[in-house]
Copies of this chain bind each other. A is one copy, B any other.
């Protein structure tokens, strides 16, 4: 469920290692005696949700097949401060060389999962039927990994790319009415979701009549959303979008939104702090 497509992890890690190792490799790890073996613990330094473990395993593995990683926590599980999330075993030099790349994936993706989980908890406390949705506002090159981290945090995924389904925003309505745009969408891309961004109730009504299968209430107040919910009356799902925060999300959930989307969870999630503690074993 939380898995990313095969190939994504391998390629993202290879690219990250290439950028971190440079042409000469790790100058400092080259100073360390070859024979030193270590056990290292990846430890959580806060309360959060794990994501990115496959990337961390891949980073150690690409640097050296002699390094192995054992996970105590799976993607999507909660971590308390001080928890040993994983144990890394192998020669000192490659463990040090891969450490930063492994943690860069782990800290960013766990940051995404952790913030997602906070939104999910806030929303579900009020309305268990409301889901937290991500957006296409992701960091360039990290789309698939961040979307998987959102799932690990209990969120669900909006469009993976522009070719998934149709979302008509006001900028698309240059010379087209909502009705025309929806009709055209259903004709050209039959069988797919057709969502319409609406600023006000009349647009919701028009979109629905035209055959939209998903309604976005954009920058509305909880009260306005409530009104739309009443009008739509379960015929299609309703997404609430536009500057939603941890504070306002529960109010939209209470208003009956099916989906609340937020770019903060991918675009502005602070790194979740994880560190590597190391013990020499020989």
- Give residues in A with beta carbon < 8 Å to B: 1, 3-7, 12-33, 36, 38, 55, 62-64, 92, 96-97, 99-101, 103-105, 107-108, 111, 131, 133, 136-144, 147, 156-158, 160-169, 171-172, 174-176, 181, 184-185, 188-193, 195, 213-214, 237, 239, 258-259, 263-264, 267-268, 270-271, 276, 278, 280
Contacts and interface: CB of A to CB of B under 8 A. Distances in A.
Contact of A6 (B63, B140, B258): B63
25 contacts: A1-B188, A5-B18, A6-B21, A7-B14, A20-B143, A20-B161, A22-B162, A22-B164, A23-B161, A27-B162, A28-B168, A29-B172, A31-B176, A36-B174, A38-B174, A92-B174, A104-B140, A133-B190, A139-B139, A140-B142, A156-B188, A165-B191, A171-B276, A174-B280, A191-B237
Q: This chain: how many copies in the complex?
A: 6
A108 B267 contact: yes
Contacts of A158: 191
Contact of A28 (B138, B167, B267): B167
B31 A166 contact: yes
A141 B15 contact: yes
A57 to B, nearest CB: 13
A191 B214 contact: yes
A23 B20 CA distance: 9
A140 B101 contact: yes
Contacts of A168: 28, 31
Contacts of A258: 190-191
B175 A33 contact: yes
B104 A166 contact: no
Given A23-B160, A133-B191, 14 more contacts: A1-B30, A22-B163, A23-B147, A23-B161, A24-B144, A26-B163, A27-B164, A27-B188, A107-B137, A160-B163, A175-B280, A191-B193, A191-B214, A193-B193
A109 to B, nearest CB: 9
A267 B142 CA distance: 14
Contact of A24 (B18, B160, B185): B160
A144 B19 contact: yes
